[in-house]
């Protein structure tokens, strides 16, 4: 069998020679070394790779020199196999050639060389070797510790599109902050890989430079949504006023995350010109966008946004409503008395007809609040008639809500009428004492108490008391 295997080593077919190499080692590893060494320079790289792998498993001293020579093989897979085999031989004489392998053009070769050197107990002798070993092992923090001396090699790694750690390289360059590093990061904003572009943009968040700002503005039009969103966020952090106009354009982006990032950036820039465009986003279909929009309007503090923010108090999302309330207080601590708040009443009335429960309930609460404020105001001369009309509109809407199919809205309407505190509102509330829902009945009874209502007879009194004091079993 051995004779036939040796004959196959001379075959003209590379695949046959490769199989023979593997079989020869399996039959007799000790006797196989000399035959394997003869094939160390085989014209086929797969055969050479098989030879190198087999030589490493023999652990014979004679294989050390040919394995070190294989570190210069034109094929990267052969070089990688040579590093692995040298690690198996475990001879300190391989340290120097393995150190040189830390600069191999193939990432896998460099990584395996670093592992092999660690196993041999090797320690870097200078900063250059520290950087080489750290980059080969993917330990970029250690390379950053060297400082500017690591920039050139990091930039070279960043340009290697086959390197799987390019995002980590970008982060390392961002930590160094060298001018060459910043230049490389700015160039990486146009990288073919969108994940690298995102990392590069993020790494530039503390750089105040006109060229960097221009690169980020261009990135706002990137085909990748994550790149656009990150660019908007970073522009907001940098705080360059020149980014205002491009960010305004991003408010119309098709992707919600980009719109959200643009809104937050404009809020940080405190850009008054953005107020009008931002108010349009209070109708955005995405609630996250609406949330950051009301917060941004509060940051900007533009009084023209009050009317739209009042309407946002009837948003379907509680977070939007809460943020809108905070934004209004920040813009005008007495916004309820403003003309802008009054101008929101017609749309609030429409909101009372919404199919969404929270929109209806929130709208009714806002209208009741506005009505109470206006009722407590002194005579407003020429405006007084208009205010009373708006008050009546709000009250009529609440009366209508008392008959809504949704019991929660009926309950909210009863509570709102009670807070208005007008004795003329008693009649519909008395009717609500017969509501099919026990909690609506109780809300109506408490509202009647608040407005000072007096029962007309014993029957009304009993009805009122029954609604007011629910029995434990009823609750």
Q: What is the pLDDT of residues 273-307, one digit of tens each?
A: 888 899 999 999 999 999 999 999 998 988 889 99
Q: Which domains does the chain have, with CATH numbers?
A: 1-123 (1.25.10.10), 366-475 (1.25.10.10)
Q: What is the pLDDT of residue 464?
A: 86
For the chain, what percentages of helix, strand and coil (3-state, to nearest 5) are there?
75, 0, 25
Per-residue pLDDT band for 427 (boundaries 50, 70, 90) equals confident
Confidence at residue 374, expressed as pLDDT on a 0 to 100 scale: 65
Task: Tell me which residue of 262, 221, 271 sits closest to 242, measured CA to CA.
Answer: 271
Q: Cα dist. 361→251, 337, 366, 402, 469 in Å?
A: 30, 21, 9, 11, 25
pLDDT at 379: 43
- φ/ψ of residue 122, rounded to 5: -75, 145
Q: How far apart are CA 435 and CA 403, in angstroms?
A: 9
Overall average pLDDT of the 363-367 stretch: 86
* Cβ atoms 344, 351 nearer than 8 A: no
How many helices, marked H, and strands, marked E, lie in the chain? Answer: 30, 0
Match 């706002």 to its residue by tokens: 220
pLDDT per position as a tens digit, 334-354? 898 888 988 998 898 888 888
Split at pLDDT 50, 70, 90, the class of 375 is low
Which tens digit of pLDDT belongs to each residue from 20-49?
Answer: 778 777 777 667 777 788 888 889 999 899
pTM of the model: 0.69
pLDDT reported for residue 372: 72
The pair of structure tokens assigned to 284 is 């955005």
Phi, psi for residue 365 in degrees, rounded to 5? -65, -40
Determine the pLDDT at residue 352.
83
Distance CA 48, CA 14 (A): 10
User: What are the distances in angstroms from CA 159 to CA 112, 187, 240?
Assistant: 21, 10, 29
Of residues 60 and 113, which shows the higher confidence score? 113
Q: At what angle do helices 127-137 and 107-119 cross, to 10 degrees?
A: 110
Q: What is the largest CA-CA distance in the chain?
A: 122
CA distance 206 to 254: 28
N-to-C CA span, the chain: 93
């Amino acid at each position: 069998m051995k004779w036939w295997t040796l004959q196959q080593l001379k075959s003209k077919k590379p695949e046959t020679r490769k199989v023979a190499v593997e079989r020869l080692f399996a039959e007799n590893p000790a006797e196989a070394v000399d035959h394997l060494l003869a094939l160390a320079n085989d014209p086929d790289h797969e055969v050479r790779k098989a030879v190198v792998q087999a030589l490493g498993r023999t652990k014979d001293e004679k294989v050390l020199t040919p394995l070190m020579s294989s570190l210069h093989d034109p094929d990267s897979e052969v070089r990688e196999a040579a590093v692995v085999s040298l690690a198996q031989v475990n001879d300190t004489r391989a340290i120097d050639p393995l150190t040189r392998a830390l600069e191999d053009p193939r990432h896998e070769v460099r990584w395996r060389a670093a592992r092999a050197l660690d196993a041999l107990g090797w320690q870097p002798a200078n900063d250059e070797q520290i950087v080489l070993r750290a980059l080969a092992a993917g330990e970029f923090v250690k390379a950053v510790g060297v400082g500017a001396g690591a920039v050139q090699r990091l930039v070279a790694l960043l340009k290697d599109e086959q390197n799987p750690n390019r995002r980590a390289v970008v982060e390392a360059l961002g930590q160094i902050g060298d001018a060459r590093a910043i230049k490389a990061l700015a160039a990486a904003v146009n990288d073919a890989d969108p994940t690298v572009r995102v990392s590069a943009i993020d790494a530039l968040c503390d750089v105040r430079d006109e060229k960097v700002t221009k690169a980020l503005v261009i990135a706002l039009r990137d085909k990748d949504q994550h790149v656009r969103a990150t660019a908007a966020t970073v522009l907001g952090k940098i705080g360059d006023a020149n980014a205002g106009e491009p960010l305004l354009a991003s408010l119309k982006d098709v992707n919600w995350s980009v719109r959200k990032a643009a809104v937050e950036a404009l809020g940080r820039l405190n850009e008054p010109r953005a107020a009008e465009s931002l108010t349009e986003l209070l109708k955005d279909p995405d609630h996250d966008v609406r949330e950051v929009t009301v917060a941004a309007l509060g940051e900007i503090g533009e009084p023209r946004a009050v009317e739209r923010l009042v309407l946002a108090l009837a948003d379907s999302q509680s977070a939007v409503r809460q943020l809108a309330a905070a934004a209004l207080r920040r813009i005008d601590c007495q916004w309820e008395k403003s003309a802008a708040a009054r101008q929101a009443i017609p749309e609030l009335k429409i909101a009372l007809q919404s199919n969404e429960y929270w929109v209806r309930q929130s709208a009714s609460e806002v209208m009741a609040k506005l009505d109470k404020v206006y009722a407590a105001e002194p005579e407003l001369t020429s405006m007084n008639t208009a205010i009373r009309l708006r008050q009546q509109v709000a009250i009529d809407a609440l009366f209508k809500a008392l008959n809504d199919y949704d019991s929660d809205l009926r309950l909210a309407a009863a509570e709102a009428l009670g807070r208005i505190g007008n004795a003329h509102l008693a009649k519909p509330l008395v009717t609500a004492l017969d509501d099919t829902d026990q909690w609506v009945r109780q809300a109506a009874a408490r509202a009647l108490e608040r407005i000072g209502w007096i029962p007309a007879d014993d029957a009304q009194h009993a009805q009122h008391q029954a609604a007011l004091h629910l029995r434990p079993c009823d609750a």
